[in-house]
C-alpha cells in the first residue's frame, strides 16, 4: 500500500500546487523528496536547516532578500553570522558593505542586490574587487546586482546585471549631460559629429570610482565640468576650476579619483588609451607604411600622405583609414613590393575630409605576397 499511498500523495501535491496552495510536507515524506528538517522549496522562504545531499536527492538553494538600511559588515552585522543565504538588498542611501578579509579561493559567495534607486558600496579590508564589477578597487560603488567570491587574496565579481551603455552623438552641436547610471556603469560616448559637448554633474554627486569613455572619430569635442570642479588632463594640462576643455579625435577615459570637488577633481586619460573590446586609434602626419601593429586599428591622417600596404600583413588584417584634413589633402594608397591591391574602378585616394577607407587583407601565400581589397569613400 505504501507505493500506492505515495502515488496518491504526489497527485494531491500536484493539485495543491495547481490551485496555488502550499501543501504541508509530512516528516515521513521529507526523505523521499529530498527535504530535510527545517527546509523548504518555497523560493520566498529562507532555509534555516542544513541540507545533506545523497544520491538521487535534490538540494534547494534559497536566496532570501534581506533589506539593508544602513552600513554593515558581511557575515557579522548585516543579517547573520552567515549571510551567504541572503540577497543583501540596499533600500536606503549610502549603504556600505564591509567585506571580511578574503579567505581561500572559492570559500566565500555573497549576493548583493540593487533596487534601482539606491547605489551601494562594497569595501574590502585587503586586496581589491575586480572582474565584471569594473572598475577595480578596494572600494567600489555599484548600480547593479552582483555576486562576489574570493581568489585567495582579493574578491572577484563573477556575475552582474550592469551593462555598459553606448551613447551615439551623431548630431552636430549636441550637449549631453552624464547621468549617474551612465557614470556608474561605464557608458561609452561615440562622437561622430562636430562641436559636441559632454557635461559632468558635480563630482560630489557622482559615484566614486565611476568612469565614462569617449570615442571621438574625426572630430573635436568639449568636456564641461561642474562649476565647482576642475579637469586634470594629461592631454591638455589644465586644473582650472570650471574651465571647459577641447579634445581632439581619439579615445579618452574620464574618471573621478575621489568624490571631492575642486581642482583636478576630474581626470582625463590621454588620447590613445584603449578600452577592452574597442579598436585603438592612432594618427599619422605624413606618408606611412603600415605594420602588423596597425591591424584592427583606425589610423587618422592629418596631412596629405601616401599610405603603403606592405607584403607582410597577415590574412584577416583590417585597417580603417580616416582623412582628418581638408579635401585637397588626400591619402593615396599604394601596394608595397610583392603586395597586390584591388580597388573597384581603380580608385586609390580618400575622397574628401572625414572620408573613411578600409583595407582588408584576404590572401598572403607564403607570408610575403599580401593581397588586399580597398573599400570605402574613395576617388
Other beta carbons within 10 angstroms of residue 347's beta carbon come to 16
Please state which of the ranges 203-212, 234-243, 348-357 shows the lowest mean pLDDT.
234-243
46-55, 126-135, 367-376: range with lowest mean pLDDT = 46-55
| Predicted local confidence at residue 215, as pLDDT | 79
Give the per-residue pLDDT at 265. Answer: 80
pLDDT value for 48: 53
Asked whether the predicted pLDDT for residue 315 surpasses 50, the reply is yes
On the question of pLDDT at 326 being above 80, the answer is yes
Q: Assign domain 281-376 to its CATH superfamily.
A: gp9 (2.60.120.640)
Residue 338's pLDDT is: 92
**The pLDDT value given to residue 124:** 93
Q: Which residue has the higher pLDDT, 79 or 48?
A: 79
Is pLDDT at 331 greater than 60 in this prediction?
yes
Among 59-63, 104-108, 167-171, 374-378, the range with the most confident prediction by mean pLDDT is 374-378
Tell me whether residue 308 is exposed, middle or buried, using C-beta atoms within 10 angstroms of its C-beta: 0 to 12, 13 to 18, 19 or more.
middle
- pLDDT beyond 80 at 225: yes
The DSSP output letter for 137 is B
Query: Shortest CA distance to 318 belongs to which of 301, 298, 339, 296?
Result: 296
Tell me the C-alpha distance between 36 and 63, whole Å.
Answer: 17
User: Residue 19: which pLDDT band, with cuts at 50, 70 and 90?
Assistant: very low
CA-to-CA distance for 331 and 288, rounded, in angstroms?
10
The predicted structure's pLDDT at residue 334: 94
Q: According to the model, what pLDDT value does residue 241 have?
A: 82
Contacts of 122 (CB under 8 A, 6+ apart): 96, 97, 99, 112, 129, 133, 139, 140, 142, 146, 148, 155
Q: How far apart are the first and last CA of the chain?
A: 89
- Is the pLDDT at 236 greater than 60? The verdict is no
- Residue identified by cell 549636441 is 174
* 3-state helix vs strand vs coil in the chain, percent to 5: 10, 35, 50
Distance CA 243, CA 247 (A): 13
Q: Which of 212, 105, 111, 118 is nearest to 159 (CA)?
A: 111
Percent of the chain with pLDDT over 90: 15
- Whether 185 contacts 144, CB under 8 Å: yes
| pLDDT confidence of residue 250 | 72
Q: Which of 224, 214, 209, 212 is nearest to 260 (CA)?
A: 209
For the chain, domain boundaries = 1-58, 64-160, 166-268, 281-376
State residue 26's pLDDT score: 42
Q: What is the pLDDT of residues 105-149, one digit of tens each?
A: 767 888 888 877 888 889 999 988 876 665 567 888 877 788 888
Contacts of 260 (CB under 8 A, 6+ apart): 203, 204
Highest averaged pLDDT of the listed ranges 70-74, 155-159, 196-200, 203-207:
70-74
SS3 30: helix
The residue written with cell numbers 600622405 in the block is 305
Q: Do domains 64-160 and 281-376 have the same CATH topology?
A: yes
All 3 cell numbers of residue 326?
A: 581638408
pLDDT grade for 279, boundaries at 50, 70 and 90: low
pLDDT for res 327: 81
Mean pLDDT of 220-229: 85
The residues near 76 (Cβ < 8 Å, ≥ 6 apart) are 100
Distance CA 329, CA 350 (A): 9
* Topology of domain 64-160, CATH: Jelly Rolls (2.60.120)
Amino acid at each position: 500500500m505504501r507505493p500506492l499511498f505515495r502515488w496518491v500523495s504526489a497527485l494531491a501535491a500536484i493539485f495543491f500546487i495547481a490551485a496555488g496552495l502550499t501543501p504541508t510536507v509530512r516528516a515521513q515524506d521529507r526523505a523521499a523528496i529530498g527535504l530535510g528538517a527545517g527546509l523548504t522549496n518555497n523560493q520566498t522562504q529562507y532555509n534555516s536547516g542544513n541540507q545533506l545531499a545523497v544520491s538521487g536527492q535534490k538540494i534547494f538553494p534559497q536566496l532570501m532578500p534581506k533589506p539593508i538600511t544602513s552600513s554593515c559588515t558581511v557575515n557579522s552585522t548585516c543579517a547573520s553570522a552567515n549571510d551567504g543565504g541572503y540577497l543583501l538588498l540596499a533600500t536606503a542611501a549610502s549603504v556600505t558593505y564591509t567585506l571580511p578579509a578574503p579567505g581561500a579561493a572559492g570559500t566565500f559567495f555573497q549576493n548583493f542586490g540593487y533596487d534601482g534607486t539606491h547605489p551601494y558600496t562594497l569595501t574590502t579590508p585587503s586586496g581589491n574587487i575586480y572582474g565584471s564589477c569594473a572598475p577595480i578597487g578596494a572600494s567600489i560603488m555599484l548600480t547593479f546586482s552582483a555576486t562576489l567570491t574570493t581568489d585567495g587574496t582579493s574578491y572577484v565579481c563573477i556575475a552582474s546585471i550592469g551593462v555598459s551603455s553606448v551613447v551615439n552623438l551623431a548630431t552636430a552641436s549636441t550637449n549631453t549631460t552624464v547621468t549617474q547610471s551612465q557614470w556608474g556603469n561605464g557608458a561609452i560616448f561615440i562622437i561622430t559629429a562636430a562641436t559636441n559637448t559632454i557635461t559632468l554633474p558635480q563630482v560630489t554627486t557622482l559615484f566614486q570610482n565611476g568612469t565614462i569613455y569617449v570615442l571621438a572619430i574625426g572630430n573635436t569635442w568639449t568636456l564641461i565640468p561642474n562649476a565647482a570642479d576642475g579637469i586634470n588632463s594629461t592631454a591638455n594640462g589644465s586644473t582650472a576650476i570650471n574651465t571647459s576643455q577641447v579634445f581632439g579625435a581619439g579615445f579618452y577615459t574620464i574618471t573621478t579619483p575621489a568624490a571631492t570637488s575642486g581642482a583636478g577633481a576630474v581626470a582625463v586619460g590621454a588620447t590613445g588609451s584603449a578600452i577592452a573590446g574597442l579598436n585603438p586609434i592612432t594618427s599619422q602626419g605624413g606618408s606611412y607604411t603600415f605594420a602588423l601593429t596597425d591591424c584592427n586599428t583606425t589610423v587618422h591622417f592629418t596631412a596629405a600622405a601616401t599610405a603603403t600596404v606592405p607584403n607582410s600583413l597577415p590574412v584577416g588584417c583590417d585597417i580603417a583609414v580616416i582623412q582628418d584634413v581638408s579635401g585637397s589633402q588626400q591619402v593615396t594608397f599604394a601596394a608595397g613590393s610583392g603586395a597586390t591591391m584591388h580597388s573597384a574602378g581603380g580608385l586609390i585616394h580618400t575622397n574628401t575630409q572625414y572620408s573613411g577607407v578600409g583595407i582588408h587583407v584576404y590572401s598572403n601565400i607564403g607570408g610575403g605576397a599580401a593581397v588586399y581589397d580597398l573599400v570605402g569613400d574613395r576617388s
